[in-house]
């Protein structure tokens, strides 16, 4: 009973906070609600016994991605009034897109059937959860069966990272930069001079 | 009814009692950590430190606490009230819930979960929200700048911390904190094989808890007091408690990962008479002393130097160490089963 109760608690909060993300006027509040949604998603993963994935959701989405969101949104200077001005103008377009999507998804689900061998493929990709912890199970799978896909995913991320750096890196020759290696390799004779100063004489 | 009593109510009472048993001593430890800080820094600077309230000034933390309780909570007019109040609460709660997975002694742990290390990483990653929310909600320049600095700093140092933890995990072969300590009992404390990483880890936790010499978020010379400048009374006290509880938590993590948790330094007679929890507390005190010692010794880093240290020094070093650890473990067939 407690299990079901916790499930409904997490699920309800997740749905409500997901709505709040969209309904909120203030973008910073929206991001904070989004974080709450992620958090409850992680809670649902824990209930399913997928503790490793739950922790990763919190570490990656809440701990890194959402921080960057918040960072960006906080720096934006958004005027709420001017945002609301053109609202009526966009309502028909938005409604049309929403209706088309809803109809498509509806059609898809009405006509949904599992392929004959789907269930047997789904069965037993990993050992039973009682035998190994799910960190171990995931590791065994990722680093053996799906090692190439895993490596490709890593390469894609690497390329994205290099791309971001290339796009944003500007080297301005007029900026004086600290070169710590050069600083500490200077000999004493270049940077230090001991003078005897005569009283009232100055240098 | 009997089912309700034995199935729900009794376990609930037990777990609440356990939580209180962790949180109350922790709050006491936080109070006396502030006292120890003032005494230690006083001694280093040839002063006496607090010595008026009670014998040797021992009641000073209590006086400070009462003072903070009695002050007026001021919420600035331009502030976002909900977020403004939420931020210190969040900081405080996050500093507390991390303790759920810390093993104090053999079997003395509230939640002995299999992903304990990841849980701690997740909790320490969330810590940044308290600060960034406080900075934004205060609607003040200094607070916002402090919050932004802190967010960038914590995100940067978390990465090298994660990589250091990976080296330890590979050596121990588990994500469970109690198991990591037991693995150190069978072999050596990981501070010996991973000594360079231990040093980097301790420096990183200084940055992660916004302590000197990385206390840029609250650099009083430039930002007045940074993210918490608009806070007063209890809201400020919660930030303060959270910051110090976080220091103790981070020290506890360092002890569990590198200094063998509750284990005595040598497994022979006089050392094994002392209970494990005492060893655990002593080791935490050792690392906390380093926190205070560093604060009294080093000047504050400049912001670009801080980022350089995190990204250009610690990150490559810990990355190399991960590869090196894996290589050594595989070559000499030392991988844990």
pLDDT recorded at residue A12:
93
Best CA proximity match to B122, nearest among A35, A43, A33, A63: A63
ipTM: 0.80
CB atoms within 10 A of CB A129: 12
CA angle B85, B87, B92 (to 5 degrees): 105
pLDDT recorded at residue A103:
93
CB atoms within 10 A of CB B20: 10
| B148 has a chain A CB within 8 A of its CB | yes
Contact A32 B8 (CB under 8 A): no
Contact A70 B132 (CB under 8 A): yes
What SS3 state is found at B198?
A: helix
Residue position matching structure tokens 């006491």: B28
Which pair of tokens denotes residue B207? Answer: 């940055």
| A101 has a chain B CB within 8 A of its CB | no
| A20 has a chain B CB within 8 A of its CB | no
Length of chain A: 203
Out of A58, A71, A180, the one facing B151 most closely (by C-beta) is A71
Residue position matching structure tokens 């199970």: A137
Q: What's the rounded Cα separation, in Å, for the pair B325 and A43? A: 33
pLDDT in tens, B269-300: 787 788 888 888 899 999 999 989 998 888 88
Which CATH number covers residue A41? Answer: 1.20.120.1200
- Answer whether B245's CB lies under 8 Å from B96's CB: yes
| A50 has a chain B CB within 8 A of its CB | no
Out of B114, B128, B151, the one facing A51 most closely (by C-beta) is B114
Q: Tell me, yes or no, whether A92 lies in a domain.
A: no
Task: Give chain B positions within 8 Å (CB) of A55.
Answer: 115, 118-119, 121-122
Q: Which residues contact B213 (CB under 8 A, 6 or more apart)?
A: B206, B294, B295, B298, B299, B300, B301
Q: What is the mean pLDDT of residues B55-61?
A: 85
Q: Which residue of A has its CA nearest to B131?
A: A67
Closest-CA distance, A63 to chain B, in angstroms, reads 5
Handedness of CA A94, A96, A99, A102 (dihedral sign): negative
Q: How far is CA B116 from the centre of its chain?
A: 15
| A165 has a chain B CB within 8 A of its CB | no
Best CA proximity match to B87, nearest among B123, B125, B124, B132: B132
Interface of A with B in 67-96 (CB under 8 A): 67, 70-71, 74
Which pair of tokens denotes residue A104? Answer: 């498509």
Q: What's the rounded Cα separation, in Å, for the pair B285 and B282? A: 5
Contact B126 A62 (CB under 8 A): yes
Q: What's the rounded Cα separation, in Å, for the pair B71 and B66? A: 9
Question: What total of structural domains would you count in chain A?
Answer: 2
Q: What's the rounded Cα separation, in Å, for the pair B232 and B160? A: 34
| A154 has a chain B CB within 8 A of its CB | no
Q: Tell me, yes or no, whether A201 lies in a domain.
A: no
pLDDT recorded at residue B1:
57
Out of B83, B125, B308, the one facing A59 most closely (by C-beta) is B125
| B151 has a chain A CB within 8 A of its CB | yes
Count of pairs with CB atoms under 8 A, one residue in A, one in B:
63
Per-residue pLDDT of chain A (203 residues; tens, 9 = 90+): 778 888 999 999 999 999 988 888 788 888 889 989 998 999 898 888 788 888 888 888 888 888 888 888 887 766 666 666 677 788 889 899 999 999 999 988 887 777 767 666 665 555 565 666 777 778 888 888 889 999 999 999 999 999 999 998 888 888 887 888 888 888 888 888 888 888 887 76
Contact B148 A71 (CB under 8 A): yes
pLDDT in tens, B222-245: 777 777 878 888 888 888 888 899
Alpha helices in B75-140 (DSSP H): 81-97, 116-137
Q: B267 exposed, middle or buried (CB, 10 Å; 0-12, 13-18, 19+)?
A: exposed
Domain boundaries, position A165: 132-170
Length of chain B: 337
Q: What's the rounded Cα separation, in Å, for the pair A27 and A199? A: 66
Binned at pLDDT 50, 70 and 90, residue B316 comes out as: very high
Dihedral pair phi/psi, residue B269, rounded to 5°:
-45, -65
| B6 has a chain A CB within 8 A of its CB | no
Q: Which residues contact A181 (CB under 8 A, 6 or more apart)?
A: none
| B158 has a chain A CB within 8 A of its CB | yes
CB atoms within 10 A of CB B276: 19
| A132 has a chain B CB within 8 A of its CB | no
Choose, out of A30, A67, A133, A178, the residue to mutate when testing the contact with B (most B CBs < 10 Å): A67
| B125 has a chain A CB within 8 A of its CB | yes
Closest-CA distance, B129 to chain A, in angstroms, reads 8
- Answer whether B30's CB lies under 8 Å from B244's CB: yes
Q: How far is CA B251 from the centre of its chain?
A: 6
Best CA proximity match to B136, nearest among B151, B156, B121: B151
Q: Which residue of B has its CA nearest to A72?
A: B148
Q: DSSP labels for B135-200?
A: HHHTT-HHHHHHHHHHHHHHHHHHHHHHHHHHHHHHHHT-S-HHHHHHHHHHS--TTTTTHHHHHH
pLDDT in tens, B100-139: 888 888 888 888 888 888 888 888 888 888 888 888 888 8
Query: In terms of pTM, does the model score above 0.80?
Result: yes
Task: Give chain A positions within 8 Å (CB) of B126.
Answer: 58, 62-63
Best CA proximity match to B181, nearest among B261, B110, B112: B261
Closest-CA distance, B221 to chain A, in angstroms, reads 22
Q: Tell me, yes or no, whether A200 lies in a domain.
A: no
| A34 has a chain B CB within 8 A of its CB | no
| B128 has a chain A CB within 8 A of its CB | yes
Domain boundaries, chain B: 1-70, 71-332
Angle between helices B141-172 and B233-258 (to 10 degrees): 20
Q: Tell me, yes or no, whether A202 lies in a domain.
A: no
Q: Tell me, yes or no, whether A141 lies in a domain.
A: yes
Contact A63 B83 (CB under 8 A): no
| B83 has a chain A CB within 8 A of its CB | yes
């Amino acid at each position: 009973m407690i299990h079901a109760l916790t499930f409904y608690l997490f699920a309800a909060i997740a749905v409500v906070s997901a709505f709040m993300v969209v309904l909120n006027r203030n973008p910073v509040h929206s991001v904070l609600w989004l974080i709450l949604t992620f958090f409850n998603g992680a809670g649902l993963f824990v209930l399913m016994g997928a503790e490793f994935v739950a922790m990763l959701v919190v570490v990656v989405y809440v701990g890194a991605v959402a921080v960057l969101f918040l960072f960006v949104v906080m720096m934006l200077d958004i005027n709420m009034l001017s945002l609301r001005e053109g609202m009526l103008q966009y309502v028909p377009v938005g409604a049309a897109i929403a209706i088309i999507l809803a109809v498509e998804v509806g059609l898809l689900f009405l006509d949904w059937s599992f392929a004959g061998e789907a269930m047997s493929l789904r069965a037993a990709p990993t050992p039973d959860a009682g035998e190994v912890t799910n960190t171990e199970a995931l590791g065994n799978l990722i680093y053996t069966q799906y090692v190439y896909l895993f490596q490709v995913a890593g390469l894609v991320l690497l390329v994205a990272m290099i791309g971001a750096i290339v796009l944003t890196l500007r080297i301005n020759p007029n900026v004086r930069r600290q070169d710590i290696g050069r600083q500490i390799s200077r000999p004493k004779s270049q940077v230090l001079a001991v003078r005897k100063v005569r009283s009232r004489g100055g240098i | 009814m009997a089912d309700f009593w034995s199935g729900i109510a009794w376990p609930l009472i037990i777990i609440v009692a356990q939580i209180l048993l962790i949180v109350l001593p922790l709050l006491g430890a936080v109070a006396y950590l502030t006292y120890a800080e003032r005494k230690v820094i006083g001694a280093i600077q040839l002063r006496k430190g607090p010595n008026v309230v009670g014998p040797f000034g021992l009641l000073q933390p209590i006086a400070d606490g009462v003072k903070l309780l009695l002050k007026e909570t001021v919420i600035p007019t331009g502030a976002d009230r909900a977020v403004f109040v939420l931020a210190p609460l969040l900081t405080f709660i996050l500093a507390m819930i991390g303790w759920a997975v810390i093993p104090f002694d053999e079997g003395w742990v509230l939640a002995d979960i299999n992903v304990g290390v990841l849980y701690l990483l997740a909790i320490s990653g969330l810590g940044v929200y308290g600060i960034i929310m406080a900075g934004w909600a205060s609607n003040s320049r200094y607070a916002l700048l402090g919050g932004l600095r802190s967010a960038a700093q914590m995100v940067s140092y978390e990465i090298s911390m994660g990589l250091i933890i990976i080296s330890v995990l590979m050596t121990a072969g588990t994500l469970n904190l109690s198991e990591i300590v037991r693995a150190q009992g069978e072999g050596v404390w990981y501070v010996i094989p991973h000594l360079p990483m231990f040093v980097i880890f301790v420096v990183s936790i200084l940055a992660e808890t916004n302590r000197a010499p990385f206390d840029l978020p609250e650099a009083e010379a430039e930002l007045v007091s940074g993210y918490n400048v608009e806070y007063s009374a209890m809201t400020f006290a919660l930030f303060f408690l959270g910051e110090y509880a976080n220091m103790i938590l981070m020290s506890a993590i360092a002890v569990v990962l590198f200094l063998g948790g509750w284990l005595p330094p040598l497994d022979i007679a006089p050392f094994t008479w002392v209970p494990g929890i005492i060893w655990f507390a002593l080791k935490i005190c050792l690392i906390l002393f380093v926190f205070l010692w560093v604060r009294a010794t080093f000047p504050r880093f400049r912001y670009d130097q801080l980022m350089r240290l995190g990204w250009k020094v610690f990150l490559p070093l810990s990355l190399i160490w991960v590869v090196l650890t894996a290589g050594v473990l595989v070559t000499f067939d030392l991988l844990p089963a």
